[in-house]
Chain A
C-alpha cells in the first residue's frame, strides 16, 4: 500500500529544517514550561532560601529542619500530614470499595435504568467543592435539623451530633463528604474496565459454573486490578493536593482546633498568611516541596512497582 512518492518526499523533507514541527510544538511547550515547569523548579529552589533583612539568603535544608523539628512549625506540619493520611485512607476504605460495588452492579447485563443511575451518581462529581461543602454544612447543621429529622426516620436520632464542630469527628465527616462527591470517578473508571472484559471470558466462566459473587471475585476482580491501581493513584494525588473542601467547610484555620488541617490548607495559611500569622514565602515553598516529594514518591511507587506487578494479570 505504500505509495512510490513516500520515500522521495521524505528525502526532500529531510534536507531543509522542518520549521513546521517547531511551530506546532512551540505554543504548548512555551506556556507549559513558563507557567508550570519553571514555577515548580523555582518553588523547589525557593525552599532552600530564606529572607533575612529583605535579602534572600541560601540556607540549604534549614527550612526543612525548621518544618520538621522546630516547635513553632513541626506540630502543625505533622498534624497536617497525619490528617492528610487519614483523609486518604478513608477514601481508600470507603470511596473505592463502594465505587467498585456500584460499578459491578451497573455493569450487570439487562439492567434497566442503567443510564439514569450512572448519570445521577456521577452528578456530584462535577459540582465544585465549594457548593458541595456548603450543601453538607447546611444539612449537617444542628440549626436546620434536616439531618436529625432524617435520622429520626430510621430511629438513629440519638446518634446525631454536631459532627463538624467536634475535633474527634470533624475530619471523618469532611472526608465522607469528599467521598460522597468523588465516588463517581472510581465508579466510572471501573465500570469502563468491567465493560471491556471480553464476553468469551465471562461465557467460559459460566460454562464452568462460576456465576454471581464467585464470578466477580475470581474472574472480574483480577482483570480490573490495573484500573483499581489507576484509581488508587488518582485518589492519592487528588487527596494530597486537596484544599477547597476543607477551606469551604472549616475555613482557613481548618478547625475545630486544627483537626481538619491538611497539607493544602497548611500551605495556604503559611504562604498567604491568615489573621495574625504573616505570610511566609520560603516556608510556603518548603511545604509545597514536601507535598511535591510525597506525590512524586506515590506516583513513582505506582509506576515502577505496582503497575509492573499488576501487568502480569493482563491478557
Chain B
C-alpha cells in the first residue's frame, strides 16, 4: 500500500538528504587519506584531486615511519586494549553471573553499586587515581592504563551481560547441577558459550573508548615507552605542524586500524546498539 504511494519525488528527497549527509561524514576522512599520498606541491595545488602520477609520493609515510616510533605505539595500544577487554569480559561476566544466578543478601544493592559507574565518568577521580598510581609505582606502565580501563568498562559490561544471563535456561543449569558439575564448570562450560554474542557486543563497546582515549595516557603513561597511538599521534602532529606530508600520513596511519576494525565489526556494533536500545 504505502509502497505504491511513495512517489519518485519523495524517495529522491530522502536519498538526497541521506546521501548529502553521508558525503559530509566521509569527505573529510577521504580528503586526509587521499592527500597523504601526495607531494607537498600536490597537497596545496590540488587538494581535492586524487593522487596522480605527477603528485603521488610516499614522502609523508617515510618521514613518519623513520622518525616516529609508530609501531611501538600501535603495540602499546593493542596490548592495553586487548588485555583490558579480556579482563572486562571475564570479570564482568563472572559478576553478572553471580548477580543474575544466585539469590543472596545484598544482591540488588551490589547490582546498583556496580551500575553507578555507567553514568559517572571515571575521569573525575583522576586526581586520586594518579596519587594511587604514583604510590604503587605504576605510573608510566601499561598496567596502570589496563587497570583504569578495566574499571571503566566493568559497569556497562555487568549491566548488559546480566540482562542476557537471565535469559539462559534454568533447566540447562539445573541439569548440570544434577550431573554433579561445580558452579564454576556450569559458568565456564554451559553459560559463557551461550552468551557469546552479547560478549562480542560488549567487547566492541568497550574497545572504542579505550583505543581512542587521550586523557589517561596523557596523565598516567606519557613516557616514550608506554605511549599509545592516540597520544603518539597527538604529540607527533604537534611537532610537525608545518610538515603537512607527515601530519596527513600520521592521521591516515591512526585512522586505518580503526577503519578496518569498523568494517569488520560494524554489523556487530549496530546490532548491539539496536538490541540494547530496544530494551
Contacts and interface: CB of A to CB of B under 8 A. Distances in A.
Interface in B110-153: 110, 113-114, 116-117, 119-129, 131-132, 147-148, 150-152
B1 A206 contact: yes
A144 B44 contact: yes
Given A28-B91, A139-B28, A193-B277, A5 B123 contact: no
* Chain B interface bracket (under 10, 10 to 19, 20 to 34, 35 or more): 35 or more
* Chain A interface bracket (under 10, 10 to 19, 20 to 34, 35 or more): 35 or more
B233 A102 contact: no
A233 B119 CA distance: 9
A153 B32 CA distance: 20
B24 interface: yes
B214 A5 contact: no
Given A27-B91, A28-B91, A146-B31, A38 B128 contact: yes
A9 B214 contact: no
B95 A28 contact: yes
A138 B21 CA distance: 20
B100 to A, nearest CB: 11
A28 B92 contact: yes
Given A46-B128, A131-B255, A146-B48, A117 B29 contact: no
Contacts of A20: 98, 182-184
For B104, B126, B177, B230, which residue has the most chain A Cβ atoms within 10 angstroms?
B126
Given A38-B128, A295-B120, A227 B26 contact: no
A306 to B, nearest CB: 14
Contacts of B32: 135, 138
B223 interface: no
A111 interface: yes
A122 B266 contact: yes
Given A36-B117, A271-B126, 10 more contacts: A35-B148, A36-B122, A39-B132, A42-B125, A116-B22, A122-B270, A128-B230, A138-B244, A146-B31, A192-B275
Interface of B: 1-3, 5-6, 11, 14-15, 17-19, 21-22, 24-26, 28-29, 31-32, 43-44, 47-48, 87, 90-92, 94-95, 97-99, 102, 104, 110, 113-114, 116-117, 119-129, 131-132, 147-148, 150-152, 154-155, 158, 171, 174, 177-178, 182-184, 187, 208, 211-215, 219, 230, 233-234, 237, 244, 247-248, 251, 254-255, 258-259, 262, 266, 270, 273-278
Closest 10 CB pairs of A and B: A39-B125, A128-B212, A42-B128, A39-B128, A35-B151, A28-B95, A24-B98, A192-B277, A192-B274, A28-B91
